[in-house]
Amino acid sequence: MFCVAERPTSPLLWLAVPFLFSAAVLGLMGSAGLLTAAWTTVPLSPVVTGAGVAVAAATSGSVRWKRTWQRTWFRWAYLAAVLAVGVLVGAVEIPALVTTVVGVPVLLGLVFQCLVQNDENRRTADCR
């Protein structure tokens, strides 16, 4: 049986989730392009932005919203705006080295945070 000690997310951290996810994915794409010498630029893909918005939508239920209207109106308007901006900048190409330098540390930070959170949950949960 899996037990999870639910800890609410701060709204500021949640606002960064789509951008952190997108940066991590673009960092992986950039490093793959550099390692294989297949490409030198990485396009800002609307698909990656959409996946980042989906992750933010999935995690929005655990956010500590200060008002009830924020849960409905602010979160969906924010996610729609981020998705619209992602579609608008979808053709912009960024050098693979830049995406690697920015994205790989973000990815490592996210993995570290997941491992620390998982360890804290394991210690605080009364699971067998």
Element (H, E) at 54: helix 46-59
Strands (E) located in 15-65: 41-43
Residue 7 confidence (pLDDT): 67
Distance separating alpha carbons of residues 30 and 40, to the nearest angstrom = 8
Report the pLDDT averaged over residues 18-31.
93
Model confidence at 128: pLDDT above 60:
no
Q: Report pLDDT for 1.
A: 34
Beta strand 41-43 pairing with 93-95: antiparallel
Domain boundaries of the chain, sorted by first residue: 11-124
Report d(CA 44, CA 47) in Å as an integer: 9
pLDDT in tens, 88-127: 998 899 999 999 999 999 999 988 888 877 666 666 555 5
Mean pLDDT of the chain: 85
**95 contacts: CB under 8 Å, gap ≥ 6:** 30, 40, 41, 42
Q: Does the pLDDT value for residue 20 go beyond 90?
A: yes
- Per-residue model confidence (pLDDT) at position 126: 55
